[in-house]
Amino acid sequence: MIDFATLRKTFAEFSDGEPRFFRAPGRVNLIGEHTDYNDGFVLPVAIEHETIVAIAARADRLIKIYSVNENAAAQFDLDEPGAMRRGIWLDYVEGVARALMRRGVVLRGADLVVESSVPVGAGLSSSAAFEISTGLALSAISGAEIDRIALALAGQEAEHTYVGAQVGIMDQFISALGKKDHALLIDCRALTAENVPLDTSEIAVVICDTRVKHALANSEYNTRRRECEQGVALLKKALPAITALRDVSTEDFAEYQNLLPEPIRRRCRHVVTENERTLDAARCLKNGDLAAMGELMSRSHESMRDDYEISCRELDIMVEIADDCDGVLGARMTGGGFGGCTVNLVERSALDRFRRKIMQEYQKATQIEAAIYISEAADGASEIKH
């Protein structure tokens, strides 16, 4: 975790100003995978790994930023838009600043030092934590009370414009709107979100990183999106009112699935059933029924493995080891697929055993050393008062 005294010292070397501190968390998605671009539902939690920003206003119009993680400084002028998609980390900060300005926030120049405990590029959304922490910090020292949904949308816009990544809204929403001891049920069509209780006193959210990322991910992602669109076009013959797979109930799907050739049928079945599972999961959490929630996570993994076909050997091994372990309520791959992380709900009393077993057996089966992150459901972005 991040050492505050060191961060303060680093800031003092970088700036003459008196800093304020802001934070925003990374996230993991409990359930609801590949539902976002089908106008559906997702259910992420904010994790304890977070990005912290120390910030002080400047008299001029420069934004000067030092990243501890990158061990590098960079800057831009608020009055002179830099090129989009320079392919460097500054794109995230300038992107969010410009998106806030477009939303009418009048920004001041500032010095920033940022440090993150979210592993970068592991699929835990260090990018959203970076955008939301810097976006909140820049707004706050400019005296602007930024609406949290507007902040999230500004972060997403930064990725679309300055970074060039066509991401959904999940990562920025949970980082900006998350609440301690809650998951966030997000309606990706309505752009609304509801906190649902997730009691982590007895169970922990455990993320296991397979440490593999297969090159297939990008091309297969585009193929899946196309297959979903084809599915909607074919189902429209029977269900003319639908505009996305979100509009297809499991009952409708059972009745009209014969309109769909394989593999489109399997792809659509995943999305339709995953949306239902995600809504069921939110209900389970509200009722405190974590055992049923875990079951839904297991069904979700099977659906991604067999119907959406976005798992891989390493992810399946990781989930199988977890399923074999006492005290595990549910385990599934999370994120885009073809590598990355699994998410597990594990009884706290079983955590040590779980960790040992995953590390040993995954290493034995794959010759790869896994990384494990244990978390509670953390708070969304906030100012840290000292």
- Whether residue 171 lies in the annotated active site: yes
Q: Which of residues 109 and 335 has its CB atom nearest to Mg ion in the complex?
A: 335
User: Which stretch in 112-120, 148-156, 226-234, 375-383 sits in contact with ligand ADP by CB under 6 A?
Assistant: 112-120
Q: Specify whether the CB–CB gap between 338 and 304 falls below 8 A.
A: no
Q: Which does 309 bind (CB under 5 to 8 A by kind): ligand ADP, Mg ion, none?
A: none
Tokens 């079951």: give the residue.
295
CB burial of residue 304 (10 Å; 0-12, 13-18, 19+): buried
For residues 313-351, one letter each, b for 16 or more C-beta atoms within 10 angstroms of the residue's C-beta and e for the rest, the string is ebbbbbbebbeebeebbbbbbbbbbbbbbbbbbbbeebb
User: Which stretch in 31-39, 64-72, 186-194, 231-239 sits in contact with ligand ADP by CB under 6 A?
Assistant: 64-72
Q: Which of 36, 39, 91, 171 is catalytic?
A: 171
Closest approach, Cβ 190 to ligand ADP, in A, equals 24
Q: Which of residues 17 and 119 has its CB atom nearest to Mg ion in the complex?
A: 119
User: Which stretch in 32-40, 66-74, 224-232, 375-383 sits in contact with ligand ADP by CB under 6 A?
Assistant: 66-74
Q: Which does 70 bind (CB under 5 to 8 A by kind): Mg ion, ligand ADP, none?
A: ligand ADP
Q: Which of residues 123 and 135 has its CB atom nearest to ligand ADP in the complex?
A: 123
Distance between start and end Cα atoms, the chain: 17
Q: CA–CA distance from 330 to each of 265, 279, 320 (Å)?
A: 26, 16, 11
Contact with ligand ADP (CB under 6 A) among 2, 12, 62, 120: 120
Closest approach, Cβ 355 to ligand ADP, in A, equals 22
Residue from 298, 353, 354 nearest 331 by CA? 298
Under rule CB under 5 A, residue 127 binds Mg ion = yes
Contact with ligand ADP (CB under 6 A) among 58, 64, 69, 263: 69
Contact with ligand ADP (CB under 6 A) among 127, 175, 303, 311: 127
User: Which stretch in 68-76, 117-125, 281-289, 345-353 sits in contact with Mg ion by CB under 5 A?
Assistant: 117-125
Contact with ligand ADP (CB under 6 A) among 20, 48, 58, 70: 70
Neighbours of 90 (CB within 10 A): 20
Under rule CB under 6 A, residue 176 binds ligand ADP = no
User: Which stretch in 77-85, 115-123, 235-243, 305-313 sits in contact with ligand ADP by CB under 6 A?
Assistant: 115-123
For residues 179-193, one letter each, b for 16 or more C-beta atoms within 10 angstroms of the residue's C-beta and e for the rest, the string is beebbbbbbbeeeeb
How far apart are alpha carbons 94 and 100 in whole angstroms? 10
Closest approach, Cβ 23 to ligand ADP, in A, equals 12
Q: Which of residues 170 and 204 has its CB atom nearest to Mg ion in the complex?
A: 170
Report the interface residues with Mg ion, using CB under 5 A.
125, 127
List active site positions.
171
Residues that bind ligand ADP (CB under 6 A): 51, 67, 69-70, 89, 92, 114, 116, 120-127, 130
